[in-house]
Structure 1
Amino acid sequence: MHSPAIAIVGAGVRGTAALGRIAARVIAAPPADPLDIHVIDPFPPGSGRIWRDGQPRSLVMNTVPAHSTVFDDATLAFSAPFPGPDFASWCAGVAAGDIAVESEWVHDAAALTLPWSTPSRSLYGHYLRWAHRRFAKSLPPQVTLTVHAASARRIAVEADVFRIALDPVPLAPPAATPTTIMADTVLLALGWVPRTHCGSASTDVPSENPIDQRIERIAPGDRVAVHGMGMGFTDLLSLVTEERGGAYIPASAPTRPGALEYRASGREPSLIAGSRSGLPFLAKPDFGAVPPRARLSALHAAIPQLVGRRPLDFAVDVLPLIERDAAAEYHRALSELHPDAYRADPRTLLDALQAPPDGTGSAHWRELEDASLDAAVRRFDAAAVLAPFASRDAEALDHEIAERIADDAAEAALGLRSPWKRALHVFQAARASIIPLTDFGGTAAASSDDLRRYLFLAGLIGSGPPLFRVEQLLAAHRAGVVRFAGPGFTVRADQTGRAVHHSLSAEPLSHVDRVAEAFLNLPDAERLGDPLIDGLLDDGLARIWAGTAPGEPATLEIAEADSALVGASGAPTAGLHSVGPLHEAIRRFTIIAPIPGTRSSVLREIDAAVESMLARTRARVHRTAEEAA
């Protein structure tokens, strides 16, 4: 008979946060009997696969340090708290010598990191591993933590206990990791589960985490078709330019602050970039400080009433509130920075935008905007980001896309002095606020396309690369390393090889030597080819959520209360829980890490699962004691 046991499969951000919530709860209410915790991951606990050490330090985060944590805070009001430093505070502690680290590089990198910096992913991995060690050291003596350098291959239920079959990593000592673990309850914290297949037969570098993509397949001088125009593309660009000896240096005749030139190493390929839409992801604004908290007054005021009316028509009930909050930010900024843009007093417009959603005149802000603004002044409309391209000629289209990127970079460089970027910041930030309105089928099926369009647009606005990466992209374009292909980007085979096409011309744009995918798709539970997920589905311990909209990745169904996987019968599989991107279609915005000071939905969902798991282990102890008596 094994001791009561909990297993956490996955030791990245969510697995580490889960260990922290377990630690907090067992410190507050120490178990009377021994408790075993098993952490299972082939990569180091804390950083896991994505944030592991050894990756190029030119690869940077897409979130500022002040918005990254695995500890809880007062906004969560947990009964058993485990507060600790967010990433920015940790860097400050390392720099001051208050937190010991294992290398001089970590100390120096932390000392250079401001709360709004874009630090390396490697440095963030050091923070996560430190947090994992802190949680582990805090466990009471009757709680034993064992870390298994292994992958979970299969989970089966035997007499109400989970048997987890492991595949130890090749270099692990044979005696160090068993091939089977027994646990009373299991949390899957799998993160971005990689696909085991390699995409289409024509793809040389399939979609993956950049450090696992085998970029070395791309030889100097290769002509490479690249699917994707977001953060993944700028990652790939960094790996084939500055990581091969090239250098981005300040422009000798800059057209704007921050403009760069590229000094080639001679080892670069030639990249032709495109996507289905052809639209580039926008640069993150350089606010020169931690990004301001988005003011979403109209949306937040309406949420209690909207929750009671679910399922909602997203385009009618929700999107106008987001647009109104973004427009309010736009006109607050515009009226402060450029009061001459108005031909009438803007206070009437601002009052209407900032009034409660059912306030007098609040529905007429667009008419008031037209009446207030000078005719030549730009109106706020986030959908302008999706404007179709005017050019059809390949050279002109390449130039038009580059101009769009440059114009956006100029706005991003203005930071708080850009009304446009401030408004877009609010528009995209609403993704986190609409969770209670959209989770678990909160929007009507007929409105799923509207929600998906908003999420796509908000992703273009809010999930793009930091500004310096966009300046590097523009420099590489001017140097001839990058060319933009436009929308409808495809690669087709013909008599002479593979050729890039786009939807604006029947003629091929260029023949290529290699094809690369520079993006990460959300995990699709039906297409992963992962033995663990496939086994759960085959054994009826999990099922695909029926509410997944056409075109969305298949999502594993979970219970709203505690993230227990729902089995084939329609009932939750008691003791088996799962959190993270595998459930994005049912529990929205799972892809983000916890953000401090925001009552993090990620930490709340993890804590609810942990509470249920600990209750199950306590019940098992009581049941065993009764049987023994």
Structure 2
Amino acid sequence: MKLALIGAGPRNLMALERLLAWNKRVSAPDLEIHLFDPAGIAGRVWRPDQPHELLMNSLAAKITLFTDHTIEMEGPVIPGPTLLEWARRSGTTFIKENNYKKANYLLNEIAHLTPESYASRGLFGIYQEWFYQQLYAQNSKTVHIIFHKTTVTGIKRLTHHTYELRFDDAAETFDGVSLALGEGMSQLSTHERDLTQFAHAHHLSYLRTGYPAEQDFDKIPAQSHILLRGLGLNFMDAMIMLTQHRGGKFYRNSDDTLTYQASGEEPKIFA
């Protein structure tokens, strides 16, 4: 049996773990699992080398790629550490052994992680890489696991149970495909085109939402005027990258409100 997992972020990494867990019970002959992601293990959202200010929106103590007794399922339960537990037990050693770009930031983060901490997205990406390495080390002798750091350029259904995938100027046939592609970047909507024209007419720059780790915020000049649509998670990412990432400081007051001390490098944000 030959399977393809397109996208190597948390959804397909957990699918990989479940396939391997089930294989220990049913033992599919000649099982071959291929993962595809041009961004590497962890995918675009959780790249380990992204700006350290970009945080997750779930507590580190609540995040795991493993199963436990709280999950209703028929498959084998194979527990493992949460993101917080992994960081405390193995994170420091794993980061040092793999020479990550932002190692100093990551090690400092681990030293201060608590059950109430929101971890950086980069740290979660490293946890995913460790998770994949564990799966590979434990199963590579019985299952062929192949990772392709490339883009699948086409899928064609051949029969009810077989598919042809095109990648790297080649084509291979698979018995099953799992798609976990993330949000992608669609073409500008009519409303976004109107916002772009409005911004240009009023001497603003419209900053479109997207993968924050891939946006070049550093190109936005200090004191320029930026237009953002919405006040959700994408706004928070852009706001952090245009304030704290540029040297600004947030201070918590005795009444639990925040005061911001500007660095002078920020643009003016209209949201």
The TM-score range, normalised by the shorter chain, is 0.7 to 0.9
Q: Which aligned pairs between 1:195-594 and structure 2 lie closer than 5 A?
A: 195=186, 197-199=187-189, 200-201=192-193, 202-203=195-196, 204-250=206-252, 254=253, 256-257=255-256, 259-273=257-271
Instruction: Quote the offset at 1:101 in angstroms.
Output: 5.4
Aligned position for 1:190: 181
CA displacement, residues 485-544 of structure 1 (integer Å, 9 cap, x when unaligned):
xxxxxxxxxxxxxxxxxxxxxxxxxxxxxxxxxxxxxxxxxxxxxxxxxxxxxxxxxxxx
Aligned position for 1:34: 30
Aligned position for 2:89: 93
The 3-state SS of whatever aligns with 1:39 is strand
1:7 to 4, 22, 42: 4
Inter-partner Cα distance in structure 2 for 1:23 and 1:101:
26
Alpha carbons 1:95, 1:110 under 8 Å: kept: yes
Instruction: Quote the offset at 1:232 in angstroms.
Output: 1.9
State the identity as a percent: 28
Instruction: Quote the offset at 1:140 in angstroms.
Output: 5.1
More strand by share: 2
Alpha carbons 1:26, 1:139 under 8 Å: kept: no
Alpha carbons 1:88, 1:113 under 8 Å: kept: yes
**Is 2:120 the counterpart of 1:129?**
no
Q: TM-score, normalised by structure 2?
A: 0.84
Inter-partner Cα distance in structure 2 for 1:101 and 1:113:
20
Aligned position for 2:20: 23
Alpha carbons 1:35, 1:144 under 8 Å: kept: yes
Inter-partner Cα distance in structure 2 for 1:67 and 1:194:
29
Instruction: Quote the offset at 1:228 in angstroms.
Output: 1.1
CA displacement, residues 251-278 of structure 1 (integer Å, 9 cap, x when unaligned):
xxx3513x443232222111122xxxxx
Highest CA radius of gyration, 1 or 2? Answer: 1
Alpha carbons 1:246, 1:265 under 8 Å: kept: yes
Instruction: Quote the offset at 1:82 in angstroms.
Output: 2.3
* Paired positions, count: 253
CA displacement, residues 98-123 of structure 1 (integer Å, 9 cap, x when unaligned):
99853553444223211220121111
Inter-partner Cα distance in structure 2 for 1:126 and 1:148:
18
Inter-partner Cα distance in structure 1 for 2:6 and 2:82:
24
CA displacement, residues 210-261 of structure 1 (integer Å, 9 cap, x when unaligned):
12233245321112222111222121111111212222345xxx3513x443
User: For the structure 1 residues 243 and 21, does the alpha-carbon distance in structure 2 shift closer, same or farther, using more than 3 Å as the test?
Assistant: same
Aligned position for 2:152: 152
Alpha carbons 1:60, 1:119 under 8 Å: kept: yes
Residue 263 of structure 1 aligns to which amino acid in structure 2?
Q
Instruction: Quote the offset at 1:209 in angstroms.
Output: 1.8
Please identify, of 84-93 and 198-207, the stretch whose mean Cα deviation from structure 2 is larger: 198-207
Q: TM-score, normalised by structure 1?
A: 0.38
Aligned position for 2:163: 162
Instruction: Quote the offset at 1:179 in angstroms.
Output: 2.9
Residue 122 of structure 2 aligns to which amino acid in structure 1?
S
Aligned position for 1:43: 39
Structure 1 runs of 4+ aligned residues shifted over 4 Å read 95-101
Inter-partner Cα distance in structure 2 for 1:78 and 1:101:
37
Unaligned ranges ≥5, structure 2: 197-205
Inter-partner Cα distance in structure 1 for 2:240 and 2:95:
31
Aligned position for 2:202: none
More helix by share: 1
**Is 2:58 the counterpart of 1:60?**
no
